[in-house]
Amino acid sequence: MGKTSVSSSRSSLTRKNLIGYAMGDLGGCMTFAVMGSFLTPYYTEVAGLTTGAVASMYLILKIWDAVNDPMMGALMDKVFARTHSSKGKFRPWMVRATPLLLITAILMYTAPTYVNGAAKVLVALVTYLLYEASYTMFNIPYGSLLSAMAGNDAERANLSSARGFGSMIGNLIPMFMFPIIIDTMTANPQLGYTAGVTLCAVVGFIACILSCKWTCEHNSRPVEEDIKDSSDIKFTDILVVFKKNRAFVALCLQGLFYCIMQYMGTTLGIYMYRDVLGALSMMSMMTLISMGLSFIFLALVPKIVAKKGLEKTVRASQLISVALYVLLFLLPNNIFLYMGVSAFASGFGGITVLMQWGMVGEAIDYNEYVTGKRTEGSIYGTFNLMRRIGQALGSSAAVALLGVIGYVPGAQAQSAGVQMGIKTLVVLTPAVFLFLCWVSLKFVWNITPEIRELMSASRNPEQSGK
């Protein structure tokens, strides 16, 4: 039996496959979005944990994140190398994780209230760790699945776009309905949080189940051609990947730079609207405008990728975004000018993260070409770790730099120098880090059309005449 070509232009994906892949991120985000926005107030205001205890828990969880994703990826690769499951490499893990996500998400918002003292902190920590482990068990194989579904740039772009749609909807639904639920149950806040997270978790469960059913692993190789011995897959293989796979190194750098930029912007955005533009209420309107623009980009970009290629499209969007951010910095501080230009600047810059999943899929194919091993889990898990590091660095740097520029908390108005400092951090920082993303793809990424042909030939020796 011949193998699927990496460069084939004929798509084997159905509409159901695309919807199924979108459902995966929709389902995961239904609970993950709630954790990001509503867990701290639940812990401190409902469960009765001190802020010091919560801060300590979050530190422990950051350390856990440093090993959780790569460890899960390597475990997945090693198990498949040993079992060669006929059900596939990725979806069985997604099926196992789906009910665990449902259960652990609900436990996070209920279990701590049933105990007191030190036990409350311990229960909160354990339930959070269990949720993070369950989310990783779903998210790492889900992200890795793209490489088994897509065989060319067009398919990678379509799946990346589908994931983007699912992510936005999966964040929008809980962010809309969760505040309404807890606001209507202020007399019994525990019931409100329990009802809200249960509803989100059930919707997420259904979406994840549909993702497991409607996705596929088109490009899985026949068992007899795969690695026979699980000892061939080692936890240290990722070090070889960094040494031999320049495309993966480029994506890690890009993911690190983009997440630093993104989380600095998220942290500092409120200061730009409130202290520089004097229009905090317009920040919500900007969120809606940006989301609408993202939907348009998600619909259009796959068509451009089909003609121009994935990395060329991403590089061009990065340079356009850099130019727009520089223009925005030079323009006067007018709220309508700011919203108009920044919407397109962030929209073009956002193509980087929307399409990065497809590029990870190609880096996985390239890794198999240069190392002889197809270790999707290790590669995706390590890439996710680099993004998490970027997120932590971005959030921390934003807070630290506020102090550097002389920001005065609670002041009626900030000085002109501080306002310029805020504008520099919010507007010029994205230009710098997006340019670094462009440098990573331009000078480190090395998958050329010629290399793609060699990759295709190595995976399809019958079609290449070998």
**Tens digits of per-residue pLDDT, 37-58?**
788 889 988 999 998 888 888 8
pLDDT of residue 1 exceeding 50 = no
Q: Answer whether residue 226 is part of any domain.
A: no
Q: Residue 186's domain is classified under what CATH number?
A: 1.20.1250.20
Whether 191 and 48 map to the same domain: the answer is yes
Distance CA 430, CA 341 (A): 13
Distance CA 310, CA 370 (A): 21
Site of tokens 């908390």: 409
Percent of the chain with pLDDT over 90: 55
Closest alpha carbon to 447 in 338, 362, 386, 380: 362
Our CA angle for 18, 11, 315, nearest 5°, is 80
Confidence class for position 225, pLDDT limits 50, 70, 90: very low
Q: Answer whether residue 222 is part of any domain.
A: no
- Give the structural domain span for 155: 14-216
CA dihedral 389, 392, 395, 396 (to 10 degrees): -110
User: What pTM was estimated for this model as a whole?
Assistant: 0.79
Q: Answer whether residue 171 is part of any domain.
A: yes
Domain closes at, from 164, 183, 216: 216
Whether 241 and 176 map to the same domain: the answer is no
**Tens digits of per-residue pLDDT, 158-204?**
999 999 999 999 988 988 888 889 889 989 999 999 999 999 999 99
Name residues whose C-beta falls within 8 Å of residue 58's C-beta, 6 or more positions apart in sequence.
Answer: none
- Total count of domains within the chain: 2
pLDDT of residue 280 exceeding 60 = yes
Quick check: 291 and 322 in contact, CB under 8 A? no
Whether 61 and 140 map to the same domain: the answer is yes
Top pLDDT among 228 and 425 is at 425
Confidence class for position 363, pLDDT limits 50, 70, 90: very high
Give the mean model confidence (pLDDT) for residues 377-400. Answer: 87
Q: Answer whether residue 339 is part of any domain.
A: yes
Whether 31 and 166 map to the same domain: the answer is yes
In this prediction, residue 234 carries a pLDDT of: 57
Exposure string (b/e) for 192-206, b if CB count within 10 Å is 16 or more?
bbbbbbbbbbebbbb
- How many CB atoms are located within 10 Å of the residue 2 CB? 10
pLDDT of residue 222 exceeding 50 = no
pLDDT of residue 9 exceeding 60 = no
Confidence class for position 461, pLDDT limits 50, 70, 90: low
Q: Answer whether residue 282 is part of any domain.
A: yes
Whether 146 and 267 map to the same domain: the answer is no
